Amino acid sequence: MGTAFISTRVSDPAACDWPEVLLCFNYWRAQCGKRFAPAWRDLDLMTLPLDMAPNLTVVDRAGDSFRYRYWGSGHAPFYPHDYTDCAVDDVSPTETARTLKNEYKEVAHRRAPLIFEKLFSGGVCMSLSLRMPLSGDGKNVDGVISYSARREIADAIRTAGGSPIKA
- How many Å apart are CA 148 and CA 138, to the nearest integer? 25
CA distances from 68 to 11, 18, 87, 143, 152 (A): 23, 25, 6, 9, 26
Q: How does pLDDT run across 103-113, given as a tens digit for each residue?
A: 999 999 999 99
The CATH number assigned to the domain holding 48 equals 3.30.450.20
Give the global pTM.
Answer: 0.84
Q: In degrees rounded to 5, what are phi and psi of residue 119?
A: -115, 120
83 occurs within a structural domain: yes
State the maximum Cα–Cα separation within the chain, in Å, rounded to a whole number.
Answer: 52
User: Domain count of the chain?
Assistant: 1
- Count CB-CB contacts under 10 A for residue 92: 15
One-letter amino acid of 132: M
Q: How does pLDDT run across 71-112, given as a tens digit for each residue?
A: 998 887 777 789 999 999 999 889 889 999 999 999 999 999
- How many Å apart are CA 83 and CA 87, to the nearest integer? 8
21 occurs within a structural domain: yes
Element (H, E) at 11: strand 5-11
164 occurs within a structural domain: no
The residue range of the domain holding 125 is 5-159
- How many Å apart are CA 73 and CA 107, to the nearest integer? 23
Tell me what pLDDT residue 130 has: 95
24 occurs within a structural domain: yes
pLDDT at 46 over 80: yes
89 occurs within a structural domain: yes
Tell me what pLDDT residue 17 has: 87
- How many Å apart are CA 112 and CA 100, to the nearest integer? 16
CA distances from 40 to 2, 133, 167 (A): 27, 9, 45
166 occurs within a structural domain: no
Q: How many residues would you count in the chain?
A: 167
Tell me what pLDDT residue 18 has: 87
